[in-house]
Amino acid sequence: MTEYRKTAEAVAALTPEQYRVTQESGTERPGTGPLLANKEPGIYVDIVSGEPLFASSDKYESGCGWPSFTKAIEPANVSELRDDTHGMVRTEVRSAHGDSHLGHVFPDGPQDRGGLRYCINSASLRFVHRDDMAAQGYGAYLDQVEEVA
């Protein structure tokens, strides 16, 4: 079993934008994240700890300006916290082991897929293509990601 954790080296390797989002609970501007339009098969992992967070098969176009997912690939890796900043009450989503700010979860997702919308910053994620998953230690999740067409 892989141990996922936040290290000083991983934090030091972050770009300024990745640091601002993951370590300072920032938000990237809508429509600007490089993973927003990604349609390749694979998984999305925490940029800091590498813990598996979301599968491409659960990604959908919500129109909100950030990558959106219907569920976590490994629910134990996603923590939900009350966020009452900016004059509203929301549910913040953080990685459980890396403690990275990921984004927020809302109850307005596709009803036929559970009704949730995990609205996630690209800056919090690293994409691992299905072809590379086994080599990078994520082979156990291959059955949750569609085959390359």
From CA 126, how far away is CA 148, in angstroms rounded?
19
Buried b (16+ CB within 10 A) or exposed e, 60-98: eebebebbbbbbbbbeebbeeeebeeeeeebebbbbbbb
Clarify whether 119 is annotated catalytic.
yes
First to last CA, the chain: 30
From CA 43, how far away is CA 52, in angstroms rounded?
7
List the catalytic residue out of 45, 47, 119, 145.
119
Please list the residues that pair with 55 across neighbouring strands. Answer: 43
Q: Which are the catalytic amino acids?
A: 119
